[in-house]
Amino acid sequence: MSNYDVAAWMFPLESGLKKKHIIKVLSLLPEDCEIVPFEIHENNSSAYGFATTRVIDEEENGLESIVDLLGSVVEDWTNESSEYTFTLPSGKNVYIGCDFRTVIIGEE
């Protein structure tokens, strides 16, 4: 499995995070690293995740820039990547998963 510097799981506000999501998120991070938890809450959804202390130290504005990047995805799921992956300005890899996919129907 790929190692990411940041991993999170997104879900609707009326739902909650499940144990399997936490296990999945933790499995995406490097095995021997220090991590910091974070949460994002927007209008219709939330995300919980972890960032390595290394990426927080190396990324300009640290955890704030990570939350800003993922906040737009949590706010509007149509901003999601088909592979659930994003890249921070520093080049570090970010994963944000969810159990739902956005399908846009009939834009003409």
Q: Which of helix, strand or coil describes residue 53?
A: helix
Residues 6 or more apart from 86 whose CB is under 8 A from it? 69, 70, 73, 93, 94, 95, 96
- DSSP class of 79: G
Segment holding 25, helix H or strand E: helix 19-27
Is pTM beyond 0.95 here? no
Q: Which of helix, strand or coil describes residue 38?
A: strand
Summary mean pLDDT of the chain: 84
- Mean pLDDT highest for which of 5-9, 13-17, 43-47, 68-72? 5-9
Higher pLDDT, 82 or 13: 13
User: Rounded to an integer, what distance in angstroms lies between the CA atom of residue 56 and that of residue 35?
Assistant: 9
Give residue 103's pLDDT: 47
- 95-100 mean pLDDT: 84
Judge whether residue 52 has pLDDT over 70: yes
User: Rounded to an integer, what distance in angstroms lies between the CA atom of residue 99 and that of residue 48?
Assistant: 14
